[in-house]
Homo-oligomer: A and B are copies of this chain.
Amino acid sequence: VENRVTRVVDASAVNAIVTTTGLDRLYDLAIDRLNAMLVEYTRGTVDLKERDGFVLSAPHDGLLEWMPAIRRGSTVSVKMVGYNPHNPLTYRLPTILSTLYVFDAATGHLRSVIDGTFATALRTGAASAIASRILARPGARTVGLIGCGAQAVTQLHALSRVFDVNEVLVSDLDATSEKTFARRSRFPADRVRVASPAEVERHADIICTATSVAPGAGPVLSGDNLRPGVHINSVGSDMPGKCELPRSLLRQAVVCPDHPAQAAREGECQQLDPEEIGPSLFDLVQSPALADPLREVLTVYDSTGLALQDLAMAELFEDLAVAYEVGHELVIETNAGDPQDPYAFLADAQPDRVDEPRNAYA
Binding site for B on A (CB under 8 A): 1-4, 8, 10-12, 14-15, 18-19, 22-25, 28, 47, 49, 52-54, 56-60, 62, 64, 66, 68, 70, 72-73, 76, 78, 80-84, 87-88, 91-95, 97-99, 101, 103, 105-110, 113, 115, 117-118, 121, 148-150, 153-154, 160-166, 177, 180, 184, 186-188, 191, 328, 330-336, 338-343, 345-346, 349-350, 352-361
Interfacial chain B residues near A56, Cβ < 8 Å: 76, 105-106, 108
Interfacial chain B residues near A11, Cβ < 8 Å: 3, 331-335, 345
Copies of this chain assembled into the complex: 2
- A164: which of B76, B91, B328, B360 is its contact (CB, 8 Å)? B360
B101-A22 in contact (CB<8A):
no
Interfacial chain B residues near A64, Cβ < 8 Å: 76, 103, 105, 108
Separation of A105 and B55 alpha carbons in the complex (Å): 10
Separation of A57 and B27 alpha carbons in the complex (Å): 33
CB distance from A360 to the nearest CB of B (A): 4
A24-B355 in contact (CB<8A):
yes
A78-B80 in contact (CB<8A):
yes
B353-A19 in contact (CB<8A):
yes
A154-B349 in contact (CB<8A):
no
A2-B93 in contact (CB<8A):
yes
Interfacial chain B residues near A357, Cβ < 8 Å: 24
Are A332 and B8 CB-contacts (below 8 A) given A84-B107, A161-B359, A163-B359? yes
B165-A330 in contact (CB<8A):
no
6 contacts between A and B (CB under 8 A): A11-B345, A53-B68, A93-B107, A93-B335, A150-B342, A164-B359
Interfacial chain B residues near A338, Cβ < 8 Å: 184
CB distance from A213 to the nearest CB of B (A): 16
Who on chain B is nearest to A22 by CB? B355
Interfacial chain B residues near A164, Cβ < 8 Å: 359-360
A115-B333 in contact (CB<8A):
yes
B186-A24 in contact (CB<8A):
no
Separation of A70 and B78 alpha carbons in the complex (Å): 18
Known A8-B8, A80-B101; 19 more pairs at CB < 8 Å: A2-B91, A2-B92, A22-B356, A56-B76, A57-B72, A59-B73, A62-B108, A92-B335, A93-B107, A95-B339, A97-B109, A113-B113, A118-B334, A150-B342, A160-B359, A160-B361, A165-B360, A184-B341, A188-B361
Are A360 and B99 CB-contacts (below 8 A) given A10-B332, A25-B355? no
CB distance from A343 to the nearest CB of B (A): 7
B107-A87 in contact (CB<8A):
yes
Separation of A201 and B86 alpha carbons in the complex (Å): 59
B8-A360 in contact (CB<8A):
no
CB distance from A150 to the nearest CB of B (A): 4
CB distance from A143 to the nearest CB of B (A): 9
Separation of A78 and B345 alpha carbons in the complex (Å): 24
A186-B361 in contact (CB<8A):
yes
In this complex, the member of A56, A83, A108 whose beta carbon has the largest number of chain B beta carbons within 10 angstroms is: A108
A92-B1 in contact (CB<8A):
yes
Interfacial chain B residues near A186, Cβ < 8 Å: 343, 352, 354, 361
User: Shortest 6 CB-CB distances between A and B: which pairs?
Assistant: A82-B108, A22-B355, A58-B73, A160-B360, A24-B355, A11-B334
B107-A22 in contact (CB<8A):
no
